[in-house]
């Protein structure tokens, strides 16, 4: 097991999670490769995300819009913004090809907004493109364990 790589990707992913929980969205947007995709599918067995319905299938333009919606103050479901704490663990490097590291981890996210505490659990698979000493996110795939069930409105970035 390449512990150095595991440490490296874990540190990067924890940093990403911290940015989202603490609203550091400019820094978050800068983590992404220009053509990176942010995907939250519905069907846990689906692999053709482009040609099927997802909860989100964001390119860079949509990611920027999503951030704008969060901070713009125009949306009644995002103001006040939900407070979130996400715990990520169980990192496993699945492989590396052409400078892209694929790593899977577990995310437990707690959301508190107004007077309700909610809980979303997901597998997250990152494709991280090496860029010098660091990475850029090429793909973030969020597979909620209850994706086929009814969800409530999620006004923040998972």
- Which of 73, 100, 83, 71 shows the shortest CA–CA distance to 9? 100
Q: Which span (12-20, 60-68, 103-111, 125-133) binds another protein, by CB under 8 A? A: 60-68
Does 50 contact another protein by CB under 8 A? Answer: yes
Binding flags for another protein, 83-122, as an x/- string (CB under 8 A): ----------------------------------------
The residue from 97, 98, 133, 149 that contacts another protein (CB under 8 A) is 149
- Which of 118, 125, 75 shows the shortest CA–CA distance to 100? 125
Tokens of 125: 């698979």
How many of the other CB atoms lie within 10 Å of CB of 122?
Answer: 21
> Using an 8 Å Cβ cutoff, are 93 and 3 in contact?
no
β-partners of residue 100 are 97, 129
* Of 105 and 154, CB closest to another protein: 154
Least Å distance, CB 132 to another protein, is 33
Residues that bind another protein (CB under 8 A): 40, 42-43, 50-57, 62, 65, 68-69, 72, 74-78, 148-155, 158
């Amino acid at each position: 097991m390449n512990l150095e790589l595991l440490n490296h990707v874990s540190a990067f992913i924890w940093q990403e999670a911290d940015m989202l929980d603490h609203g550091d969205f400019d820094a978050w947007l800068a983590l992404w490769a220009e053509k990176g995709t942010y995907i939250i599918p519905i069907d846990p067995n689906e692999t053709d995300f482009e040609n099927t319905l997802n909860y989100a299938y964001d390119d860079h333009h949509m990611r920027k819009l999503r951030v704008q919606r969060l901070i713009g103050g125009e949306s009644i479901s995002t103001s006040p913004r939900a407070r979130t704490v996400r715990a990520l663990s169980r990192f496993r490097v699945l492989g590396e090809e052409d400078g892209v590291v694929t790593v899977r981890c577990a995310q437990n996210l707690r959301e508190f907004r107004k007077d309700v505490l909610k809980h979303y659990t997901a597998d997250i698979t990152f494709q991280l493109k090496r860029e010098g000493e660091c990475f850029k996110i090429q793909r973030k795939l969020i597979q909620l364990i209850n994706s086929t069930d009814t969800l409530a409105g999620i006004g923040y970035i998972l």
